[in-house]
């Protein structure tokens, strides 16, 4: 995948590879020393069927999607479901 600046990801919609809209990118977690990325933190939409999403959730009910699940970044961030 080509290099993409984090500022270009801010506010992007996140969609599952099955077409399910998961929500909007809220944040990205990383190791500050190594620069390794861990998770995309996704704020679910009101219409998101939360019970059918199999990603871990944080204390604010945001999805934590491991970065190795990212398949494409275009108009949407597409993640493997």
Listed by start position, the domains of the chain span 6-79
Q: What is the mean pLDDT of the chain?
A: 87
pLDDT at 45 over 90: no
Burial of 46 from C-beta contacts in 10 A (0-12 / 13-18 / 19+): exposed
- Residue 48: what pLDDT? 80
Q: What's 6-79's CATH class?
A: mainly beta
Q: Report the predicted TM-score, pTM, of the whole model to 2 decimal places.
A: 0.83
Q: What is the pLDDT of residue 7?
A: 63
């Amino acid at each position: 995948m080509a290099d993409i600046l984090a500022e270009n990801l801010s506010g992007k919609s996140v969609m599952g590879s099955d077409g399910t809209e998961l929500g909007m990118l809220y944040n990205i977690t990383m190791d500050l020393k190594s620069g390794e990325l861990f998770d995309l933190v996704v704020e679910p939409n009101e219409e998101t069927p939360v019970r059918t999403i199999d990603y871990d959730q944080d204390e604010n009910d945001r999805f934590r999607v491991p970065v190795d699940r990212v398949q494409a970044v275009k108009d949407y961030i597409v993640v493997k479901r």
